Amino acid sequence: MKEKVRAAAGKRGEKVRSDCYVEIEIKEKGGLKIDLKSKVGVLYGDQIEDLIYKMCAFYKIKNADILIEDSGALPFVIEARFELAIRRILGDKIKEYLPPMLKQNLYATAKDILRRSRLYLPGNEPKFYPNAGLHKPDGIILDLEDSVAAAEKDAAQLIVRNALRAIDFYGAERMVRINQLPAGLEDLKFIVPHNVNVILIPKCESASQVTAVEKTVNKMKIDYKLKNPIFLMPIIESALGVINSYAIATASDSVCALAVGLEDYTADLGVERTNEGKESFMARCMIINSAKAAGIQAIDTVFSDVADMEALRASVLEAKALGFEGKGCIHPRQISIVHEAFAPTAKEVDKAKKIVIAYEEAKKNGLGVVSLGSKMIDAPVVKRAHNTIKLAQLTGVISENWRDEL
């Protein structure tokens, strides 16, 4: 059988932007011949050619015909597409060509940080990446699962890997949704070494799926000497997952939240998903109770109508009333609405202030019992009040020095 000597990767066409198409044919002689067609060739043509020569040297390619059709791709995209074409010729055992890790991408997050909004970005669409953090979502999800065609899963793995290193997410929590297990375990090697903060486990139905991911992550953390924590967020998307949600929530200390995915859940039930959500009310309540019982966050599903902001606001307010602490976003314009709706009301803030002040006064005076008026205040109420104050500060409802303003 003749060895494969030609392969392509990437996207081409008039509507393509911030991406490129790479075609490589390995030859026995003739040196390197680069045919570069670029929309930004006048400005960046020399840099692109220099990058291609550099990658050829890295992979010890001395003779090849190389076609590059560039539609304004950033270097991390060109690197991912070129590496993929090489992988499709030489196999997956070749070395990784990694862009430098930005210093501002080395931050860690915490188990209980705010996760009001998480913006989904398709894993094989790098055009959405550079500006995503400017919209100030709490988290950005680079998606390797449903948004990526089966034939392009390998392409998305490299784009997401390179993005984790080369794109500034402006402090947003760096999340990746892997593929449904067991295929998702293969995704981990492309994200764990590159400071992913949270791994979303889709269509999770059992605690064993969580522990399988955790086991692989922990081994890789040792192998790569990683220090930053990596949290897990199982997504419940089936009737079985709902029934097992508490076991899933308590499967690992690394689980920071339970999320619900209603498109697949309603499909599993064989019913239509509606904005009113009556068909998923029981499931959402079970997931909330499982999360709260486990001491973690409950995160609501995405709202799919990106044009109806009032319906989105109503959906977030309902989710907040049920006990959800965050919601998925599929468009940047949804983020501010989600943040506004999750912000505490003036009445909630005023009550929280009174509780915190009463608690601090009781503690100062050595009192073991805290009361506000005729009502006793227990520890969970105080904790909720502190969380309300914290959220009010983060959303600009009150200042850091609110006590001085009383």
Judge whether 133 and 172 are in contact, CB under 8 Å.
yes
Cα 212 to its chain centre, rounded Å, is 20
In this predicted model, what pLDDT tens digit does every residue of 350-361 receive, in sequence order? 999 999 988 888
Global pTM reads 0.92
Looking at the predicted structure, is the pLDDT value of residue 404 above 70? yes
How would residue 3 be classed by pLDDT, with cut points 50, 70 and 90?
Answer: low
Q: 103-342: same fold as 6-90? A: no
Domain boundaries, given as residue ranges, for the chain: 6-90, 103-342, 346-405
For the record, the structure tokens of 77 come out as 């995209």
Judge whether 221 and 254 are in contact, CB under 8 Å.
no
In this predicted model, what pLDDT tens digit does every residue of 267-322 receive, in sequence order? 999 999 988 889 999 999 999 999 999 999 999 999 999 999 999 999 999 999 99
In this predicted model, what pLDDT tens digit does every residue of 316-341 receive, in sequence order? 999 999 999 999 999 999 999 999 99
In this predicted model, what pLDDT tens digit does every residue of 52-93 receive, in sequence order? 999 999 999 999 999 999 999 999 999 999 999 999 999 988
CATH of domain 103-342: 3.20.20.60
User: Which class would CATH give 6-90?
Assistant: alpha beta
**Helices within 14-110 (DSSP H only):** 41-58, 75-90
Looking at the predicted structure, is the pLDDT value of residue 1 above 70? no
Looking at the predicted structure, is the pLDDT value of residue 2 above 80? no
High-pLDDT (> 70) share of the chain, %? 99
CA dist 326 → 242, 297, 320, 335, 354 (Å): 18, 8, 8, 11, 26
